[in-house]
Amino acid sequence: MPYPKSVLPIRWLVATVLSLALLAGCQTAPPLSTEEQAAVDRMLSLVDERLEVAPLVARAKWNTGTNIEAPKRETEILDRVASRAAEAGVDEAFARDFFQAQFEASKLVQRRLHRRWQKEERGPFDNPPDLAEDVRPVLDRLTPALIEALAEWQPLVEDPSVALYLEARAPELVTGDFDGEPRRVALEPLKTQ
């Protein structure tokens, strides 16, 4: 018995909607375990802590007139990071890329602050932080913690659920970065390893 012509488009529409729903269900990533969520949150919190240091560095450099760019120091740090990363079982190239991204994100914040202060014709800060005494100890504490977080991250990087969770949580946990550009730069290596 043939179907009336008015029923055929409805059947086709229902079949199409069901097919699309099945395809969407296949593409949905499974939820992360509590441990995986904690690893992502820990990484994001550490990146945020490191970005929070950038305004201190900017003030110190503003007062001393020191250049924001410090390629020699960055190279020394990256060499130490690569060595420590290898000891922790982290791919050295991945660690270098990640820390280079942290440097670039920090410099984005510093440049924006320096531009703002130039427009404001700001003078020196009272009691600025000292790079050696106030800032570097914080960075020295964060570096091994970030390497440890990279060791936790490495096995998760291929999981599409991790990427989705990272995207969702990053704006909540990485906040000290103006419009999100420093955050994007800091997190890029975590998405492309």
Query: Model confidence over 27-67: pLDDT tens digits?
Result: 555 788 999 999 999 999 999 999 999 999 999 999 999 99
Please state the separation of Cα 122 from the chain's center in Å: 31
Domain assignment of residue 2, yes or no: no
**99: Cβ–Cβ under 8 A, 6 or more apart, which residues?**
77, 78, 81, 143, 146
Domain assignment of residue 16, yes or no: no
Domain assignment of residue 23, yes or no: no
CB of 79 within 8 A of CB of 163?
Answer: no
Domain assignment of residue 76, yes or no: yes
Domain assignment of residue 15, yes or no: no
pLDDT of the residue at 104: 97
CB of 83 within 8 A of CB of 159?
Answer: no
This prediction has a pTM of: 0.82
Structural domain boundaries, residue 40? 33-192
Residues 133/97/107/54 CA torsion (nearest 10 deg): -40
CB of 40 within 8 A of CB of 156?
Answer: yes
pLDDT greater than 70 at residue 16: no
pLDDT greater than 60 at residue 153: yes
Distance CA 28, CA 36 (A): 17
* pLDDT: which is higher, 189 or 23: 189
Query: What's the total number of domains in the chain?
Result: 1
* pLDDT: which is higher, 12 or 83: 83
CATH of the domain at 101: 1.20.59.10
Domain assignment of residue 43, yes or no: yes
CB of 99 within 8 A of CB of 78?
Answer: yes
CB of 106 within 8 A of CB of 57?
Answer: yes
| String of DSSP letters for 23-92 | HHHHHSPPPPPHHHHHHHHHHHHHHHHHHHHHHHHHHHHHHHT--S--HHHHHHHHHHHHHHHHHTT--H
Domain assignment of residue 73, yes or no: yes
Domain assignment of residue 9, yes or no: no
Query: Model confidence over 91-138: pLDDT tens digits?
Result: 999 999 999 999 999 999 999 999 999 999 999 999 999 999 999 999
pLDDT of the residue at 193: 55
Distance CA 126, CA 122 (A): 12
